[in-house]
Chain A
């Protein structure tokens, strides 16, 4: 006799746990399967958690959850070989309640979130891989795990299995195989540093945090970003680029990370740090067009498995949490009717369309393709901007007007005014 639950959730990341927690609170019998040793052990998310969407799942979470530092400053660095053009925003409003974002270490945060779900009545089964879906009359009726006596029957299965979404493919909701244009690969290192050092180096008051996003040379000009996030007594340092670019350039993500760490602007921030952990992971960055069919008879897809990542704004955990929450609400509505067929789960897609989740993905739907087709934004322009800044700031008794002319000449020699105008216009079209 197979075990029976109302809902099976596959994957204990933010998306799956948000769904499980919401369902368990409503009194639904829910079981969560996690393939890792415990929730959080299998992921690499750089570590920014946003307050607003997280509170929708756990109100007041920041009073108890294991968080690293509230983010008071975000910096953007455009790197060239030996220089950086920097932009930043720091706001002390972000230092106190209700906060905007926090850096987190997912191994701790996910475990805590799972504890909340378990306390609400969800069952969590770790170290168990869901290998297949159970079908009956063209509807999903449960899952098959890799353990003895491993079948579990359910009214509905929530797929929160992450970027490598084999079950979503098996459910026929997503084309088979890996599309290297839709997946980014991210590698990250946790580098231990004493907290005073972090606060000194990043100009932070006690307990506060900052994030740095790096473009240009940080990814060797490939479509992607690198990041440095401040934790309590460590830094999360990583780089993520489109799998297709890596393959095309025959580059290895580890070399990319080493390249980043040795950059003079980055090196000094990490100096004396001890590398504690190294992780690699896939990030679904296919955008709006790559979002699979999100529901079927007895099945829903949430989080990374549903390609819900906003690569432009490096947001993911908020989309994951929100999708889990909306999936749970859809299930609760279907439960009222006692019918989990496709028609009753379809409102999930509509709820996502009406929320920021799919609205944002739709806004940037052309971005990935655009930047791939127009590499000048990551290769040519950072260098031009950097050289212009160098020229302008070098005091050598050349009159400023002459300097401006020289800068303009250099820029237009590299790219015509017409091309630049076209680039700016199309950039605005894609991003605006």
Chain B
């Protein structure tokens, strides 16, 4: 039996987000909100482990009341219950304050039943910081396993988990002690096509809401007050210089290409 918590975030659909070039801020007005894509894979991972080892999956989100929608999505994918952390006092939290609040909520869940695994997406597609997951792990003192692309297995006896981490050009197989926090990449799994009974159950479910008073929190560490980060500037990275197009007949073009590759010492001259 595994007690699992998945942190999910409601993010603007970046396919439709624009940056205001004058103020350098995201133009979020009218942009539909979706479940952060990496978080969807985190939910799937937790549900798959539940199906294999038994247990319970709690979806956890911090956000405005509308964030209920992504929690319902998690329920439709097989999470057993959902908790929304919603309070005006949380508004303006940066990654430091957010991980503080989420960690406090996980501690509260842990007091009911000890938590074995926490799942997060590797990063949210709006802020792209990838800091909240590790932040929670550090605060809870959980084993921190980031960029997980495969879960080999959980040893319930030894209280260990073995995962594969996605690195730049290789994968790293490591074993860690439970309780652990995993941040996951999309390669980890294929998202399921939810069954109708699951969707109906999710649509009907009541979502528990916790405010700041339900958690053990230092008021100075949450919201704007607890957020030392200030954003100076957001900008799209400069476009990569375009490649070179070699025109002409295939035979000639190939000859030019080879000459260039030799010239840049990518291939050896024979």
Contacts and interface: CB of A to CB of B under 8 A. Distances in A.
Chains A and B bind each other: yes
A125 B195 contact: no
Interface residues of B, number: 11
A386 to B, nearest CB: 40
A3 B193 contact: no
B32 A125 contact: no
A148 B32 CA distance: 27
A149 interface: yes
Contacts of A406: none
B30 A108 contact: yes
Interface stretch (B162-170, B197-205, B216-224): B197-205
Given A147-B193, A147-B194, A148-B193, A125 B199 contact: yes
Interface string B188-212: 0000011111011001100000000
A152 interface: yes
A52 B197 CA distance: 38
B32 A145 contact: no
Contacts of B195: 147-150
B203 A124 contact: yes
A152 B197 CA distance: 9
A123 B193 CA distance: 19
Contact of A123 (B30, B32, B203): B203
A261 interface: no
A128 interface: yes
Interface in B86-126: none
Given A38-B32, A108-B30, A3 B197 contact: yes
Contact of A3 (B30, B32, B194, B200): B200
A128 B30 contact: no
Given A124-B203, A125-B203, A149 B197 contact: yes
Interface in A113-158: 123-125, 128, 145, 147-152
Contact of A31 (B30, B197, B200): B200
Contact of A147 (B30, B32, B199): B199
A372 to B, nearest CB: 40
Contacts of B204: 123
A291 to B, nearest CB: 32
B196 A3 contact: yes
A278 to B, nearest CB: 14
Contacts of B30: 108
Contacts of B194: 147
Between A145, A149, A150, the greatest number of chain B beta carbons within 10 A of the residue's beta carbon is seen for A149
Interface in A385-419: none
Contacts of A147: 193-196, 199
Contacts of A125: 196, 199-200, 203
19 contacts: A3-B200, A38-B32, A123-B204, A125-B196, A125-B200, A125-B203, A128-B196, A128-B199, A145-B196, A147-B194, A147-B195, A147-B196, A148-B193, A148-B196, A149-B195, A149-B196, A149-B197, A151-B196, A152-B196
Interface of B: 30, 32, 193-197, 199-200, 203-204
Given A125-B200, A128-B196, A148-B195, 17 more contacts: A3-B196, A3-B197, A3-B200, A31-B200, A38-B32, A123-B204, A125-B196, A125-B199, A145-B196, A147-B193, A147-B194, A147-B196, A147-B199, A148-B193, A149-B196, A150-B196, A152-B196
